[in-house]
């Protein structure tokens, strides 16, 4: 009798954990967003915790390889960071600085048309302004996270 009770408890725990993991993964599916910025229209991906918020947010600036893989989805590094941050109750917005401008990887390009000190800074500011307008975001709790040349913007 004790073994059956123990097995039931373990099964319940497994079902609760599986439900939580499924909910967390579903909550971290990227939502395509469009950010207007002057003459440039930025596209990006938003990952958001479930619920109405308000949530703190992170703007993630990709590196020289860009944001998306050949399938058009964010590289696994960005998806992984988004899952971790969303799991901690933090929304993540990735503006696509290169794809939005019709550019691919810039890692081997000597003269870049998207500069870290101008366009990337403007992209981060456009993302910040967009987040501050969202009712589910905490306008006073927006941070910046970057990789490679996205970390020096």
Give the C-alpha distances (Å, rounded to integers) separating 112 from 43, 103, 107, 136, 152.
19, 10, 9, 35, 15
Closest by alpha carbon to 95, among 129, 71, 70? 129
Beta carbons within 8 Å of 63's beta carbon, 6+ residues apart: 107, 146, 147, 148, 149, 150, 151
pLDDT along the chain (153 residues), means of 10: 51 43 53 86 95 95 91 92 97 94 87 83 94 96 87 69
Residue 12 to residue 53: CA distance in whole angstroms: 29
Q: What is the model's pLDDT at position 95?
A: 96
State the Rg of the chain over Cα: 19
Q: What is the model's pLDDT at position 144?
A: 95
Single pTM value for the model:
0.78
Helix, strand or coil for residue 77?
Answer: helix
Helices and strands (DSSP H and E) totals, the chain: 3, 5
């Amino acid at each position: 009798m004790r073994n059956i009770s123990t097995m039931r408890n373990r099964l319940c725990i497994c079902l609760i954990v599986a439900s939580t993991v499924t909910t967390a993964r579903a909550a971290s599916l990227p939502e395509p967003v469009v950010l207007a910025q002057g003459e440039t229209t930025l596209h990006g991906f938003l990952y958001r915790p479930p619920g109405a918020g308000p949530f703190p947010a992170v703007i993630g600036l990709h590196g020289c390889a860009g944001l998306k893989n050949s399938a058009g989805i964010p590289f696994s590094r960005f998806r992984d960071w988004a899952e971790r941050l969303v799991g901690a109750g933090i929304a993540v917005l990735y503006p696509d600085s290169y794809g939005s401008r019709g550019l691919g990887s810039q890692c081997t390009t000597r003269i870049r048309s998207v500069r870290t000190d101008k366009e990337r800074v403007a992209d981060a500011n456009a993302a910040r302004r967009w987040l501050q307008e969202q009712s589910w975001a905490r306008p006073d709790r927006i941070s910046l996270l970057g990789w490679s040349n996205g970390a020096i913007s």
